[in-house]
Amino acid sequence: MKEAIKESDPIIKGNKFEEVFNSIVCTEPDFTLLKQHARSDVGEIDFFYRTKCKDHPLWLKCHYLFIECKNWKEIISSEKMNHFITLLQSKNVFRNCCGVYVTTSSYSPQAINAYKKAINEKKLIIVKLGRNDLNKLIDEGFKTYLEDAFDTLLSKI
């Protein structure tokens, strides 16, 4: 993880972070990578996974995960978050999806507001991870981390 964060070339930096993130998810037996860099008319999402998990309310609702990874020093803007929300909405027309936004930086107040609005008004399931969440993700594992994050999110709605 540290090597990916310290990389100076932006293309290599992004690719390394995606590799690290995918390796964390792939240690979980119930997640299958369906597509990396899934493109649509709306845009591109870094990862598209399917899950076979059924042991938590999150997995009873969501069978597909769309994940965006940003290995940036810059704060995630509302424009970036809104783009992700738009992508996730386009996928939710046909499927029950969960979105995960992962960054090595943090989120602007406007991005956090867009995130909250998407959850409360658009009824999307989105988990956001920032720089301070990455160690916990690694320690707990992807599945457990998402379940705990979902429980926390649900308690605040």
Q: State pLDDT tens for residues 77-86.
A: 999 999 999 9
Q: What mean pLDDT is predicted for residues 56-85?
A: 93
**pLDDT value at 71 more than 70:** yes
Q: Which one is predicted more confidently, 14 or 128?
A: 128
Provide the pLDDT confidence category of residue 41 given band limits of 50, 70 and 90.
confident
Report helix angle 109-120 to 78-92, nearest 10: 20
**pLDDT value at 8 more than 70:** no
For the entire predicted model, the pTM comes to: 0.90
Cα 14 to Cα 10, 46, 57, 58, 73: the distances in Å are: 6, 10, 32, 28, 12
103-144: pLDDT as tens digits: 999 999 999 999 999 999 988 999 999 989 988 999 999 999
CATH of domain 2-134: 3.40.1350.10
Q: What's residue 94's pLDDT?
A: 66
Domain ranges of the chain: 2-134
Q: Are strands 64-70 and 44-51 parallel, antiparallel or unpaired?
A: antiparallel
Q: Which two tokens stand for residue 75?
A: 């704060």
